[in-house]
A and B are shown apart, each in its own frame.
Chain A
Amino acid sequence: MSTSLHQNVTLTPRGFTRRSFLHTVSAGAAAAGMLTFRDLMSLQADELRRQGRAIILLWMNGGPSQLETFDPKPGTDNGGPTQAIETNVPGIHIAEHWEKTARIANELTFIRSMTNKEGNHQRATYQLHTGYVPSGSVKHPSLAANLARQLEDAEFDLPSVVSVGRPMPGASAGYLGLDYEPFVVDRAGQLPQDVAVRVNEDRYARRLKLLGRVEDGFAREGAAAVVESHQKLYGKAARMVLSSNIGAFQFDNEPADVRAAYGESEFGRGCLLARRLVETGVTFVEVISRNWDTHDDNFNRSAQLSRGVDPGMAALISDLRQRGLLDKTLVVWMGEFGRTPRINPRTGRDHFPRAFSAVMAGAGVKGGQVIGKTSADGNAVVDQPVNVGDLFASICHALRVDPASETISPLGRPMKIVEEGTIVPGLFA
């Protein structure tokens, strides 16, 4: 009963109408014969609240310098040559390379008090994707997999987790299995590898039918379970390949000015793809910007990297707003750690997990504010420290997922989505 209602309601993942909703409920209630509208409402309250929630992670691989992004310290020794610019929110200044993002600061919360202990790329990246430090004994599911498991619509025919670019350590679904593995898109804007059908669709359907018949013998002889799960997988893959939603991967019908706004870069195209996928019903999209590991020549490199990310990030958030998607889509900008405030002899900055920045927008996050503060020299968090658990608990909250809900690891150990963490106070409107 409840399932059928849920599926009916999720038929149009981004915005069912009141009418279709009422219609659905009355049909469902009639079928049940006894439940009132209110009963159904409370039964489904959780799921309804989550309807259409999604998250886009903008991942700055290598560890972006907080001083060259969202926590500049101009005029100090540690600040280096990086200047700060005003944003459209009085009193909030960010680094000079983020002009477009500065104009939408009213949508953003800048967290300047991220703090962690992992200073190794792989381990920190894993931790910032799973909430756990790596361990040989269990492959933790990514936060994305956990969220997708809670939020996905079972009838949806595209993957619920998509990674634009080679997935990061920790981005795997771990023990949650294949339904939540990130689907990898190598080049945003084009159909992903092996998705394009090589023969016409009639022949494709014919082949799939023949495959079913070829499998019959093996199933009857004693491999029924193997054949069944294989067919389920092929059903899923074929549904995706033949899906009317598959066009979301291609930009053919996207106006030139929209494409231009996102920027002619891999990252910009990734952001546009993320918007299209979320609009179609994908739960989690990660867009990766690489090479932020600026041990040398930090200022030139960070400036260039920032200018590559700025247009895509700003366009994404404005576009989501314009399309009415930002209320239910969370956008998170972060990397695995920050960089040392002290400038090294190669005008670089090294790994620094003690105090760094992250940015959030949408899904109820209050716009136009700064949370937390670092000391004048940037070496320490002096106000409202936010650790990885707190950040993850807040992400869960934005998506209406209980951070304490558990999955069972293969060894039978219950694992919470977030082991420990409190929602960042003041983050949400």
Chain B
Amino acid sequence: MHDSLGVRWVVGLFAGVVWSWSCVGHTLSAGEPQPSQVVAAQVDELVSAELARRGETLAPPVSDEEFLRRAMLDLSGVPPTVSQVVAFSLEPGSDKRVELIRRQLQSEEYARNWARYWRDVIYSRATDARTTRFQGVFERWMTEQLRDGRHWNDIVTELITATGDAQENGATALLVAHGGNAQEIAAETSRIFLGIQIQCANCHDHPTDQWKRADFHELAAYFPRVVFRQVMDGDRRTFEVSSMAPTPARFAGQMANRGVDPERLLRGLDRNGDGKITREEAAGSPLAAAFERFLAIGDKDGDNALSADEIKALPTMPMPQFPGRGSPEYLMPDLNDPSSRGTRVDPVFFVSKSKAPAELGDIERRYLLASEIVDPSNEWFARAYVNRIWTELIGAGFYMPIDDIGPERTAEFAAVLDLLADQFVAHDHDMRWLFETLAQTGIYQRSLRAGTSAGFAASIPVRLRGDAVYEALARALGFEADQNSGFGLRQPGNFRGTRLPRGQVTQTFGFDPSTPQDDLTGTIPQALFLMNSPIVEQAIQAEGRGVLARVLRRFSKDEDVVRELYLTVLSREPSAEETSTARNYLAEVSDRNEAFEDLYWALLNSSEFLNRR
């Protein structure tokens, strides 16, 4: 029994590994990968057909300037500068929007923006408040992954299987944020990566959903051997994620005992096809933890790599006689007697129902789970990601809330989700590909429309996240990066001037990105900050070194000043009506400088400033 399971595990595990590294041997049900513009066109066809069925039409396309602010804020988290707005409007060529999208996706801002997004997804729900100081470590790590174009399946695999110092390895974020607690990690793994709120089954069988209490605890059973502890390193206090059982020896033993075929292992990991596995090739694989040890014992020719023969010749370690002894098993609490020890539960992945052999160590368990989660046969993985990104870009989801997609839920525009999820898998979970596709669709590029529109027919304003508000404020108030300081931006030439404190702004305007748009109504401190803070009031002065002062020096005609203010704050020109509103206000107020300060203030305090339209 154990043996046959074990073999299935090893084969399954390496199938997973092989698949995620080189796409060999995977069994995709998905279609062939199509270019982004082809899929975008198919999406639009499906959307239009569905809208027509509902007696609705898509709102007309947005103007260039509106598209520019939308795409830049959505993809890179920064609004365009005045000169970018002007240049983009004047730029000829029918491909300029696609080119803009591609440029954004290659930018450092894109990587940082979405790294911050995932930082907030993970840390907004942290249950161990001591660990929120590691948010920056995750942000840096995730920025690298996005910059390098790593795919979602690989990133998720790392997040689930990470070990190491919380201060050094950002991939530990999910485990760290929950203090290594198996139940919380399981709940968040399912919510974030699968869109399934299986933790509802923590205490009771969910009345309607197909998954039961045992399913949740069997998921948690993948994590009981995660060790999370505080480490003192001189004066430095940090936290470390490690595994309860020493994995290399166990792994070696299991590999040998299960008769893993070294040739197969080699094929899976040997990316450059030189017949050897190097440290780099092993990185991130189940072999990584044991690699140094294997190398020390098995590298006969001293080339710092392992050939198939060298792997075959590795000494084997017998399996422990009593599997699981010495390392705790997951215990499911007894609801009738909460203080009792509970019942031992072994890991089973609730979607595929595949089990992990109980004797597996921590890393192997987590690897096995990761490979089950990212496996193309697990449709939830791609659907959860596509639904999330679609919601962020389109303003409403196939499923809402964003992280509750099943199983007893019905998708809006289901055919569109099916197509996108299918193609996302066909593109091997390439995040840039999905962004590029969505941003090219007509539905993404539709405009606002008065009144209520069914479905996604008209553009839906999307609230800027804390970091984007910071960037937007910095641009609107003319703050610039100060090379010598990480503490915030200041106005150029104003060396004693106030800084725009990033921490304060992102904290005041930040929110959990999994919150539905409808619930994001702003907070009193946000309003007070924009209305009354000395920083804003000082920065909008008509005299001195601020933006308005510069604009007033440069332009003498009122309309030009109004236009510059709109461009600076909202990245667009004012409508004729808005210009006349401004003109009337100027006429009402005797002091011209005051009137422009007030207009500047009103634009900064408008809902349009805090949303992208």
Nearest-CB distance from B573 to chain A (Å)? Answer: 12
Interface status of A230 (Cβ within 8 A of chain B):
yes
Q: With A169-B129, A183-B524 as given contacts, are A413 and B200 in contact (CB-CB < 8 Å)?
A: yes
Residues of A near B130 (CB, < 8 A) are: 122
- Among listed A56-64, A132-140, A250-258, A340-348, interface-contacting one: A132-140
Instruction: Collect the chain A residues with CB atoms within 8 Å of residue B200's CB.
Output: 137, 411, 413
Determine which residue in B130, B529, B598 has the highest number of CB atoms from chain A within 10 A of its CB, and name it: B598
Q: Which of B31-39, B155-163, B577-585 contacts A (4 or more CB under 8 A)?
A: B577-585
Beyond A222-B449, A233-B522, is A207–B601 a contact (Cβ under 8 Å)? yes
Find chain B residues with CB under 8 A from A169 CB.
129
Interface of A is mostly: helix
Chain A residues whose CB sits within 8 angstroms of the CB of B577 once the complex forms:
217
Docked Cα-Cα span, A194 to B525, in Å, equals 8
The 8 residue pairs across chains A and B that have the minimum distance between CB atoms: A222-B448, A230-B607, A237-B527, A194-B528, A122-B129, A198-B537, A136-B125, A211-B602
Digit string of B417-458 for contact with A (CB within 8 Å is 1, else 0)? 000000000000000000000000000000111110100001
Question: Which residues from A are CB-within-8-Å of B254?
Answer: none
Question: Is there contact, CB below 8 Å, between A218 and B613?
Answer: yes
Question: Which listed segment binds A: B67-75, B184-192, B468-476?
Answer: B184-192
Could you tell me if A241 and B575 are in contact, using CB atoms closer than 8 angstroms?
A: no
- The CA-CA distance from A220 to B575 in the complex, in Å, is 13
Question: Judging by beta carbons under 8 Å apart, are B528 and A136 in contact?
Answer: no
B128 contacts A by Cβ under 8 Å: yes
Smallest CB gap from B462: residue in A: A226
Total residues of chain A contacting the partner, CB 8 A: 52
- Determine whether A229 belongs to the interface, using a CB cutoff of 8 Å to chain B: yes
Encode B519-542 as 1/0 by CB contact (under 8 A) with A.
101111111110111100100000
Does any Cβ of A come within 8 Å of B113's Cβ?
A: no
Contact A194 B401 (CB under 8 A): no
The answer to whether A214 and B528 have CB atoms under 8 Å apart is no
Residue A410 at the chain B interface, CB threshold 8 Å: yes
Give A110-127 as 1s and 0s: 1 = Cβ < 8 Å from B's Cβ atoms: 000000000000110000
Nearest CB on B from A255, distance (A):
30
A residues less than 8 Å from B610 (CB atoms): 230
How far is it, in angstroms, between the C-alpha of A328 and the C-alpha of B605 when the chains are bound? 40
Instruction: Provide the residues of chain B in CB contact with A222, threshold 8 Å.
Output: 59, 447-451, 453, 458-459
**Could you write out 27 A-B pairs with CB less than 8 Å apart?**
A135-B184, A135-B199, A136-B126, A137-B197, A137-B200, A178-B522, A194-B532, A194-B533, A207-B598, A210-B602, A213-B585, A213-B602, A215-B607, A221-B448, A221-B450, A222-B451, A223-B608, A226-B461, A227-B607, A230-B522, A230-B606, A230-B607, A233-B522, A236-B527, A237-B524, A237-B528, A240-B524
* Nearest neighbor of B584 in chain A, beta-carbon distance: A213
**Residues from chain B with Cβ under 8 Å of A181 in the complex:** 523-524
Q: How far is A186 from B526 in the complex, measured between Cα atoms in Å?
A: 16
Question: Chain B residues in contact with chain A, CB under 8 A?
Answer: 59, 125-130, 178, 184, 187-188, 191, 197, 199-200, 401, 404, 447-451, 453, 458-459, 461, 516, 519, 521-529, 531-534, 537, 575, 577-578, 581, 585, 589, 594, 598-599, 601-603, 605-608, 610-611, 613
Contacts of A241 in B (CB 8 A): 528, 531-532
Knowing A177-B519, A214-B606, say if A237 contacts B531 (CB, 8 Å).
yes
Q: What is the distance, in angstroms, from A199's C-beta to the closest C-beta of chain B?
A: 8
Contacts of B404 in A (CB 8 A): 411
Q: How far is the CB of B590 from chain A (nearest CB, A)?
A: 12
Bound form: Cα–Cα A215–B602 in Å? 9
| B197, A197: Cβ atoms closer than 8 Å | no
Residues of A within 8 A of B611 (CB): 223, 226
- Which among B178, B531, B589 is the interface contact of A206 at CB below 8 angstroms? B589
For B128, what are the chain A residues with a Cβ–Cβ distance below 8 Å? 122
| Residue picked from B451, B458, B605, most chain A C-beta under 10 Å | B605
A137 touches B578 (CB 8 A): no
When the two chains form their complex, are residues A207 and B532 in contact, meaning their CB atoms are under 8 A apart? no
Query: Which residues from B are CB-within-8-Å of A195?
Result: 528, 532
Complex contacts, A137 vs chain B, CB 8 Å? 125, 187, 191, 197, 199-200
